[in-house]
Amino acid sequence: MKVLVSGNAGFIGTFLTQALMENRREVVGIDIRPCNPKDHHYESILGDVRNPDDVMKAAQGADVIMHLAAEHQDFGVTREAFFSVNVKGTRTLVECATRLGIKKFIFYSTVAVYGNAGKVTTEETPPRPVSDYGESKLEAEKVLYAWAHDDPSREVVILRPTVVFGPRNYANMYNLMESIYKNRFIFVGRGRNIKSVAYVENLVAATLFLLERMGPGVLICNYSDAPQLTTARIVEILSRHLSRRVPKFKVPLMPALVAASAFDLLSKLTGYNFPVTAYRIKKFNTDTHHAADAIRALGFKPPVDLEEGFRRMAEWRMREAAEARFPNESADR
> What percent of the chain stands above pLDDT 90?
71
Residue 133 falls in the annotated catalytic set: yes
CA distance 113 to 193: 20
69 pLDDT above the threshold of 50 = yes
Each residue's pLDDT tens digit, 214-225: 999 999 999 999
Q: pTM for the whole thing?
A: 0.91
Q: Who contacts 255 (Cβ-Cβ below 8 Å, separation ≥6)? A: none
Q: Who contacts 332 (Cβ-Cβ below 8 Å, separation ≥6)? A: none
| For residues 91-113, average pLDDT | 98
Give the mean pLDDT of the chain.
Answer: 91
- Catalytic residue from among 42, 108, 114, 133: 133
Domains of the chain, each with CATH number or no CATH: 2-168+197-225+289-304 (3.40.50.720)
